[in-house]
Amino acid sequence: MAVEMTPSQALGLWHAVSLEQVRAESNDLSLRQMAILLHIYLVPPPHTVRALAATLGVTKPVITRALDSMGALGLVDRVRDEKDRRNVVIKRTLKGALYLERLGDRIIDRGRQLPV
């Protein structure tokens, strides 16, 4: 089902959800961190630092810093790839899945409040 919105409505939805997310969560994520987290959870694994950097068009240290922050929050986990010890594989966590599920619920709730 396609949802029709004006650009103003779309921005209003993003604004409302962002405000609610900042107010509700003790830890809010940067746009870059959110893009990484959504990629990890919405795109089938495996996910590596190298692949995430290539996908987002940033350097590996940028991804590493974002993963450090998100790892400290328990949203993702990193483990060495047993097949190739040079690679670090990013794993999903229950806390990260719940975080995104709550975000999805907020988007749905706010979307339903849009004027028709």
Q: What is the pTM of this model?
A: 0.88
Q: Which pLDDT does position 28 carry in this prediction?
A: 83
Q: Which pLDDT does position 49 carry in this prediction?
A: 92
Position 11: which residue type? L
**Cα distance between residue 61 and residue 15, in whole Å:** 29
Q: Which pLDDT does position 86 carry in this prediction?
A: 80
Query: Which domains, ranges and CATH numbers included, belong to the chain?
Result: 8-112 (1.10.10.10)
Q: What is the pLDDT along the chain (116 residues), one digit of tens a residue?
A: 777 889 999 999 999 999 988 888 667 899 999 999 999 999 999 999 999 999 999 999 999 999 999 999 999 999 987 888 788 899 999 999 999 999 999 999 998 887 76
29: nearest Cα among 18, 45, 14: 18
Mode of pairing for the β-strands spanning 88-92 and 76-80: antiparallel
